[in-house]
Structure 1
Amino acid sequence: MVTRIPVQGDRPYDVIVGRELNGELPGLIDGAARVAVIHPPTLRERAEAVAAVTGRQTVLIEVPDAEAGKTVEVAARCWDELGAAGFTRTDVVVGVGGGATTDLAGYVAAAWLRGVRWIPVSTSVAGMVDAAVGGKTAVNIAAGKNLVGAFHPPAGVLCDLDALDTLPREDIAAGLAEVVKGGFIADPRILELVEEHPAAALDPHSDVLRELIERKIRVKADVVGVDLKESGLREILNYGHTLGHAIERREKYSWKHGHAVAVGMVFAAELGRLSGRLDDATAARHKKILETLDLPTTYAESAWTELAAGMRVDKKTRAATLRFVVLDGLARPGILAGPADDLLREAYKAVAR
């Protein structure tokens, strides 16, 4: 069974969820003479399988795994390989991997000849429900995560559930942090499914995990179809990310993105509660659900000064004013702009250890 979830906008496309999806690729690359497949070392075999179905001249470009691959230097090496292969505006870049790899592949495609087609073939839960959907592409620099990038919607997204069969349980759980985020900001049924079936939520063969993935994709599709460039509604997708990105930077990207976002959501919930916008029960529900999935909900108390400084270079900051996505109730996200330092420090106590 294949599910097609449409993403609207100026350049609409489908997110395709199912198993054995390589056969969907030829229909997305019509008119291309060459295909570049960007992949980490661990996914060489899957990248070769993708290349085999294209029927085009194919260039395999191996990049470092995870966040180590999301650098300007790695992107430049990819551009050199595209140039050596004679890539034109009608050719296609395919990213095979988790969210970091597809972020990189999308940015490589966005910048090459000012934008060529690209297709993410996502192999992680986080990639399927978040990174691969919405057209945000980026690399990291020393100043922070995702600060150099472009909005460049893909031609289509392939979420092949076969890739999850061998994914470590910890990686599935990390991806579910983004799914849980979708539950709190838009679709409470997600939260109920996790609470009712916590074991099945972590089982790559379960219908529950598939439903969770599809529900979160629909949440994101609904948002980015209206607001591609984060000028308004899309900002709600950053729930938990302001502190989360600061943690990732402090940990030199050794923490999984979902782990950092989990801590960030507990912080954001407390910030909403302390500012009088979120009820106690919904705030407490964050920690309970995340811990059900064995996700972290605490971070070092001593890190606060460094994290506070890191948050000030976050993409959501406007004119030096910190902005946080908070909840005014379940599935009622809003913005808290310029909170007092004392309020931030007090909210951090909810996660400090």
Structure 2
Amino acid sequence: MTPNTHKHQEPAKVHIALGERSYDVCIGQDLLSDPRAWEGLPGGTLGVIITNDTVRPLYASRLQALLATRHRKVLVISLPDGEAFKTLASFELVMDRLLAEGADRKTVLYALGGGVIGDLTGFAAACYMRGVPFVQIPTTLLSQVDSSVGGKTAVNHPRGKNMVGAFYQPARVFCDLDSLRTLPAREVSAGLAEVIKYGLITDAHFFHWLEENAVALVAGEVSALQHAVRRSCEIKAWVVGQDERESGLRAILNFGHTFGHAIEAGLGFGTWLHGEAVAAGMVMATDLSARLGMAPQDLLPRLRTLLRRVGLPDAAPALPGGEDEYLHHMAVDKKAEAGAIRYVLLQGLGQAVVKAVPDEQVRPTLRACLAAA
């Protein structure tokens, strides 16, 4: 992907209001080369960049040069790329390196990469010496609009996605739109799944805007991307500011994720990108909403059309165990409570609710969506 960067957009800021844990999300271009954007952040003796083998050659040296003005020593820890490495083994590798380097409580961790790196680094920051500061520098569209904001950190367990983690807020988030230039088209599409989600659950006007600007977003037009990232972060900031630890409202951010996590677990983490699984999951959740008489019948075809336009799947993959395997994975997902699977559903475009639905009412959706694959 190579966005049109001839005209620089002014950086935007979205404030995440969480009292003493509040922070800003900075959205713009050249943020990895602008020391002014980094003013006010903690600056201990040691700064540690945690990244992966794909991102490191692209951006690590630039970030290291910038951080050298803030820390006496800057280290880089590079992990293999991919969801398959979002594990306790990778977490232990980071812990081993921090301990070997004598990292202390003023050490600052910098998450340079996509959602896997952001989640893992945040979890490491939450655990090391019971908490050290960390900064998010998400380099994928998916992580810029979703995982880098809100303080959810975790690693996967063979029995479930994101099962081992903590709520831990970053000191700041830098969404450098320039980093999207090196993203493969598939990764851009995966990020747009979460963007579309925000329109579906809270903002009908934004959903209309996405329908009208799908081509510009896929083409990487900076003005369109900045608006999409900013509006997504504004919506997430609004939700997280009211429900930081997902005791109520924040659950709506999981729209499409209960089905989507079943897809990821059933196919094997990393086979489908997270955004691809969420896209198919949103189709299933919208279908279920319509079958229950909640969402209008025309919303599902609109959603499927938009997903196809941005290069996302509009149907769910078959799993070896069929419907039963979907239900099995959804029952062990962390959004299940007391054995009842709770789904985020739509009462209309821009209106999401959480509702427990019996398996027998979910099976028609599973059959219909799998048959469409």
TM-score by length of 1: 0.96
Q: CA separation in 2, counterparts of 1:42 and 1:238?
A: 28
The DSSP-based 3-state class of the residue aligned with 2:24 is strand
Q: Residue 352 of structure 2 corresponds to which residue in structure 1?
A: 333
State how many pairs are aligned: 352
Q: For residues 73-131 of structure 1, give each alpha carbon's deviation from its aligned partner in whole angstroms, at most 9, with x where no partner exists.
A: 00001011111111111111101001111111111111111111111101000000001
Q: CA separation in 1, counterparts of 2:277 and 2:196?
A: 13
The DSSP-based 3-state class of the residue aligned with 2:127 is helix
Q: Residue 289 of structure 2 corresponds to which residue in structure 1?
A: 272
Q: How does 1:94-173 map to 2 (within 5 A)?
A: 94-173=110-189
1:61 lines up with 2:77 in the alignment:
yes
The DSSP-based 3-state class of the residue aligned with 1:195 is helix
Q: Residue 8 of structure 1 corresponds to which residue in structure 2?
A: 17
Q: How does 1:10-89 map to 2 (within 5 A)?
A: 10=19, 11-22=21-32, 23-24=35-36, 26-45=38-57, 46-54=59-67, 55=69, 56=71, 57-89=73-105
Contact 1:202 1:209 in 2 (8 A): no
Q: Residue 250 of structure 2 corresponds to which residue in structure 1?
A: 234
Q: CA separation in 2, counterparts of 1:36 and 1:28?
A: 18
Contact 1:26 1:53 in 2 (8 A): no
Q: How does 1:208-287 map to 2 (within 5 A)?
A: 208-253=224-269, 254-287=271-304
Give the C-alpha shift of residue 340 in structure 1: 2.1
Compare 297-306 and 154-163 and name the one that shifted more.
297-306
Give the C-alpha shift of residue 198 in structure 1: 2.0
The DSSP-based 3-state class of the residue aligned with 1:351 is helix
Task: Give the counterpart letter for 1:342 in structure 2.
Answer: E
Q: CA separation in 2, counterparts of 1:114 and 1:312?
A: 32
Q: For residues 232-275 of structure 1, give each alpha carbon's deviation from its aligned partner in whole angstroms, at most 9, with x where no partner exists.
A: 11000000000100101112112100100000001001111111
Contact 2:256 2:284 in 1 (8 A): yes
Contact 2:257 2:278 in 1 (8 A): yes
Gaps of 5+ in 1: none
The DSSP-based 3-state class of the residue aligned with 2:219 is coil
Q: CA separation in 1, counterparts of 2:109 and 2:148?
A: 13
Decide which of 195, 203, 212 is 1:196's aligned counterpart: 212
Give the C-alpha shift of residue 133 in structure 1: 0.4
Q: CA separation in 1, counterparts of 2:50 and 2:346?
A: 38
Give the C-alpha shift of residue 300 in structure 1: 3.4
Decide which of 306, 327, 330 is 1:289's aligned counterpart: 306
Compare 139-148 and 62-71 and name the one that shifted more.
62-71
Ranges of 4+ aligned residues in structure 1 off by more than 4 Å = none
Compare 190-199 and 143-152 and name the one that shifted more.
190-199
Task: Give the counterpart letter for 1:49 in structure 2.
Answer: R
Q: CA RMSD in A?
A: 1.4
Change (3 A) 1:24 1:320: farther
Decide which of 332, 350, 353 is 2:368's aligned counterpart: 350
Q: Residue 323 of structure 1 corresponds to which residue in structure 2?
A: 342
Contact 2:263 2:317 in 1 (8 A): no
Give the C-alpha shift of residue 204 in structure 1: 2.2
Change (3 A) 1:183 1:252: same
Q: CA separation in 2, counterparts of 1:245 and 1:30?
A: 36
Task: Give the counterpart letter for 1:3 in structure 2.
Answer: A
Change (3 A) 1:301 1:256: closer
Q: CA separation in 2, counterparts of 1:142 and 1:24?
A: 42
TM-score by length of 2: 0.91
Q: CA separation in 2, counterparts of 1:25 and 1:73?
A: 34
